[in-house]
């Protein structure tokens, strides 16, 4: 069962909120440049995908639904693991980050598929 669009909007809003908070943490509370860069990368990716997730919350279709899940999984696995490494020093967790990156990539491909299905596969 698919959550209502409002649920996805809430997820997008919370993700955007976390991205902004973590961006501030990376800019103001992290002394090490490498660690700050990890937080900056994670917050940038999370913020971008939160915005797209918000847009996707209004799109109907199986590919759009799958793209929402891929973006949510990507946020947890990519951004979440970078945050954990940066703030908790948990080095082993970043082994999951590539799976999050692949989830983001698949999400974008699913958006392309949904768009092609919505247009009926025609140009114009």
Task: Look at the pTM and tell me if it is higher than 0.85.
Answer: yes
Residue 107 falls inside a structural domain: yes
Residue 66 falls inside a structural domain: yes
Residue 85's domain comprises: 5-118
Residue 123 falls inside a structural domain: no
Residue 30 falls inside a structural domain: yes
On whether the CB atoms of residues 101 and 79 are closer than 8 A, the answer is no
pLDDT digits (tens, 9 = 90+) for 12-46: 999 999 999 999 999 999 989 999 999 999 999 99
Q: How many domains does the chain have?
A: 1
pLDDT digits (tens, 9 = 90+) for 70-85: 999 999 999 999 999 9
Q: How far apart are CA 33 and CA 37, in angstroms?
A: 6
Looking up tokens 């919370």 gives: 14
Phi then psi dihedrals of residue 13, to 5 deg? -65, -45
């Amino acid at each position: 069962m698919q959550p209502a669009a409002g649920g996805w909007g809430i997820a997008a809003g919370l993700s955007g909120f976390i991205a902004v908070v973590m961006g501030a943490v990376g800019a103001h509370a992290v002394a090490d440049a490498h660690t700050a860069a990890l937080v900056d990368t994670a917050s940038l990716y999370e913020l971008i995908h939160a915005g797209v997730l918000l847009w996707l919350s209004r799109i109907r279709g199986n590919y759009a639904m799958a793209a929402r899940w891929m973006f949510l999984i990507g946020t947890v696995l990519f951004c979440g693991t970078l945050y954990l490494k940066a703030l908790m020093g948990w080095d082993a967790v970043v082994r999951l980050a590539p799976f999050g990156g692949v989830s983001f990539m698949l999400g974008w491909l699913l958006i392309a598929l949904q768009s092609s299905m919505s247009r009926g596969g025609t140009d114009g």
